[in-house]
Structure 1
Amino acid sequence: MTEKKIKLNATNEVQEFVNAASKCNFDINLHYQRAIVDAKSFLGVLSLGLSKIFTVSYGGNDGNFEQILSKYAAA
């Protein structure tokens, strides 16, 4: 299981992230504190809020998804 930290600041960023996650054929979860949601669910991701640092955990490999993670990587 790979984990990376990202930060999503606007709904269009959430949409881009969810679209990329939805194209992957493996499970992707988004964590914030104790809450865990399916990263392929727009409403689920939005329910966690914006401008927070999230942990993304996934068990596969997809180049496009990796690019999106890099784009929104939290410092």
Structure 2
Amino acid sequence: MSQVKVQFKTPEEVMDFTNVVSKYDYNMDLKKSSRKVVDAKSLLGILALGLENNLELCIYSDEDCSEVVNAIGKYVVA
């Protein structure tokens, strides 16, 4: 499993993000807290978490997920 923090400022960024991650077969979740978890490929789910929040992206795979992380690099925060 790989984890990175991401943030979105506009609904358009969320739409772009979901379009990118939907191209990969990995299961992915976004977490706002331990209680708020949504499918990372769900546009409405991500919007429900709210904009301007640091979210944790969890990619469930034993493989190297660096290609996905590079593809969404503009949304990754430190």
How far did residue 21 of structure 1 move? 1.2
Measured on the aligned residues, the alpha-carbon RMSD in Å equals 1.4
Amino acid at match of 2:6: I
Residue number in structure 2 paired with 1:49: 50
Pair 1:74-2:77 in alignment: yes
Tell me if the contact between 2:38 and 2:45 (Cα under 8 Å) persists in the aligned partners: yes
Residue number in structure 1 paired with 2:12: 12
Q: Deviations over 1:16-51 (max 9, x none)?
A: 111111111010000001200001110011110000
Q: Deviations over 1:35-74 (max 9, x none)?
A: 00001110011110000000000024362x3224321111
TM-score if structure 1 supplies the norm length? 0.88
Residue number in structure 2 paired with 1:35: 36
TM-score if structure 2 supplies the norm length? 0.85
> Alignment length, in residue pairs?
74
The percent identity for this pair of structures is: 32
Unaligned 5+ segments in structure 2 are: none
Unaligned 5+ segments in structure 1 are: none
* Cα distance change of structure 1 residues 71 and 30 upon mapping to structure 2, 3 Å threshold: same
